[in-house]
Chain A
Amino acid sequence: MNNVVKGIILYVVGWAAFHYGLFPQMQPKEFSWVANRYVYFLLFVAYCIGFNLVLKLKPPIALNGLVVWLIGLYFYKAVLYPPIPWTLLITYMMLWTIGTFLYISQDPVTFAEFRKPIVKTVIGEYKMARYIVFIALPVLVGFGTYKSLEPRFEEPVELRTVHPAPPATTKVHGKSYTLEGLQNPFRTDEQDNYKDSFPFLDADSQEYMKSVTEGGTIFFENCHYCHGDQLNGLGMFSHVFNPTPANFVDPGTIAMLRESFLFWRVSKGGPGLPNESTPWSSAMPPWEEHLKTEEIWKVILFEYWYTGWHPRTFDEESSAAGGEE
Chain B
Amino acid sequence: MLTEPRKTVRHFLVALAVTLIVGLPSTLLAQEAQRPDPVLEDKLELGKKTYFKRCVWCHGVEGGGDGPSADRLFTRPRNFIQGTFKIRWTDSGELPLDRNLIDTVKNGLPGSAMPPWGEVLSDDEITSVVQFVKTLVQDRDFNDEDEEVYVQNFGKNPWGTSGPYHLGVPQEAIDQGKEIMVQNKCFECHGGEGRGDGNPTMKDDWGFPIFAADWTQCWNFRGSRRNHYDPFNVVRTVSTGLNGTPMPNFKDKITIEDRWKLAAFVNSLCPRKKIDKLTNKPIPDFLIQSRFTVGPVSTDMNDPMWQAPDDDPNIKSRPSDYTGKKDQKWHYIAMAGQITRGQRNFKPKVDNLWVMSNWSEEEQAVYYLVEFHNRFLSIDPAYPDGVAMQWPGQLEELYGAEKPYFIYGDAKKPVDIWKANFMVKDYSDTNAPNPNGYDLDVSVKELVGRGFDAVSEKETLGGVEIVNSKYHQGRVKIMFKRSLVTENPDKTDVQIPTQTFIPVSFLQWSGWDKEHDEHMAISTWYYTILVPDNPASMFYMPPILGVAFFGFQMWLVWMTKRTRRMAAEGKVK
Contacts and interface: CB of A to CB of B under 8 A. Distances in A.
A224 B115 CA distance: 11
Interface residues of A, number: 66
A199 interface: yes
A219 B406 CA distance: 24
Given A149-B537, A154-B287, A229-B115, A237 B337 contact: yes
Interface in B256-279: 276, 278-279
A155 B518 CA distance: 28
Tier of interface size on chain B: 35 or more
CB-CB nearest 3 A-B residue pairs: A142-B546, A237-B336, A142-B542
Interface in B43-90: 49, 52-54, 56-58, 61, 67-69, 72
B52 A123 contact: no
B383 interface: no
Contact of B120 (A153, A196, A230): A230
A306 B115 contact: no
B183 interface: no
Pick the most buried of A137, A220, A232: most chain B CB atoms within 10 A of its CB.
A220
Contact of A269 (B340, B499, B522): B340
Given A143-B542, A239-B279, A280-B404, A134 B527 contact: no
Interface of B: 49, 52-54, 56-58, 61, 67-69, 72, 112-115, 117, 120, 276, 278-279, 281, 284, 286-287, 289, 334-337, 339-341, 344, 346, 351, 401-406, 410, 413, 499, 501, 522-525, 527, 529, 531-532, 534-535, 537-538, 541-543, 545-547, 549-550, 553, 556-557, 560-561, 564
Contact of B549 (A141, A155, A159, A275): A141
Contacts of B413: 280
B529 A270 contact: no
A216 B58 CA distance: 11
A232 B523 CA distance: 21
Majority DSSP secondary structure for residues of B touching A: loop
Interface of A: 119, 122-124, 134, 137-139, 141-143, 145-146, 149-151, 153-156, 158-160, 196, 198-201, 216-222, 224-226, 228-230, 232, 234-242, 269-271, 275, 278-281, 283-286, 289-290, 306
Contacts of A235: 113
B120 A220 contact: no
Nearest to B399: A275
B337 A242 contact: no
Contacts of B564: 119, 123
Given A146-B538, A201-B52, A229-B114, 14 more contacts: A124-B557, A149-B538, A155-B527, A198-B52, A218-B68, A220-B68, A224-B69, A225-B336, A230-B54, A239-B276, A239-B284, A269-B340, A270-B405, A278-B403
A232 B532 CA distance: 41
Given A122-B556, A216-B57, A145 B336 contact: no
